[in-house]
Amino acid sequence: MAKDMTLLWGSGSPPCWRVMITLEEKNLKGYNQKLLSFEKMEHKSEEVMKMNPRGQLPAFKHGDKVLNESYAACLYLENQFKSQGNKLVPDCPAELAMMYQRMFEGLSLNQKMADVIYYNWKVPEGERHDSAVKRNRESLTAELKLWEGYLQKTSGGFLAGKTFSLADVCVYPSICYVFRFGLCEERYPKLASYYNSLKDRPSIKASYPPTWLENPQGQDVLKDI
């Protein structure tokens, strides 16, 4: 059934990684995939634009159904293949509610992270302001402290309780990203523990960004956050 699936993706992209982790968790092997380069602007190629007119990755298709938003693809795959692989949605109503809450809060983390890491890339030189840089960094710091607090309160080691769920699928790539860009593990011990505890999970190891494996040394953009 995975042979009817096609994924166009970019290495290191949290949205792409979410979909790939879900595919691994659901034991959907043998899907068609193509690694594209952001640096070469391949995400703006005709091949991508036909599937995703926004010119963004991932671009994912199952049969004639196209899901280019990573959260949508993850939810769809869990719903369509409930009995296959690992169950990613808890039965407990309290854990289910927490899963959805943390999943969608993850979008705030991803946005605030990007506002800091990609500020110079997204904002033209003449429009950059030190005050905006300071504000973005303060906003990300507050966001990370929220997640540090969430993990202090959880007893199961996962974001929504005792089992790995779609909350972890969707948020873990962003947590990896902030540490990749120099976040201090000593300053955020609970986030660091969570980050390190899932590194060896089979779905995460199997889908780990190849460019990160080739170049384990990240950047230090967030070392002072």
Task: Please report the beta strands in the chain, taking only residues with DSSP state E, as ranges in sequence order.
Answer: 5-10, 32-36, 59-62, 65-66
Residue, of 147 and 155, whose pLDDT is higher: 147
Closest by CA position to 74, among listed 148, 129, 20? 20
pLDDT at 218: 78
Would you say residue 69 has pLDDT above 90?
Answer: yes
Average pLDDT on 199-215 reads 95
Average pLDDT on 179-188 reads 96
pLDDT at 187: 96
Average pLDDT on 34-43 reads 93
Average pLDDT on 8-22 reads 97
Cβ atoms within 10 Å, residue 215: 10
Q: What is the DSSP letter of 146?
A: H
Average pLDDT on 212-220 reads 85
Q: How far apart are CA 198 and CA 181, in angstroms?
A: 18
pLDDT at 66: 97
CATH of domain 93-214: 1.20.1050.10
Average pLDDT on 141-161 reads 94
Average pLDDT on 145-159 reads 93
Would you say residue 1 has pLDDT above 70?
Answer: no
Q: How far apart are CA 66 and CA 158, in angstroms?
A: 30
Would you say residue 115 has pLDDT above 70?
Answer: yes
Average pLDDT on 97-101 reads 97
Q: How far apart are CA 157 and CA 161, in angstroms?
A: 7
Q: Where in the chain is the domain with CATH 1.20.1050.10?
A: 93-214
Q: Where in the chain is the domain with CATH 3.40.30.10?
A: 5-80
Closest by CA position to 121, among listed 46, 174, 181? 181
pLDDT at 220: 86
Would you say residue 100 has pLDDT above 90?
Answer: yes
pLDDT > 70 fraction of the chain, expressed in percent and rounded:
100
The CATH homologous superfamily for domain 5-80 is Glutaredoxin (3.40.30.10)
Q: State the pLDDT confidence band at 127, using cuts at 50, 70 and 90.
A: confident
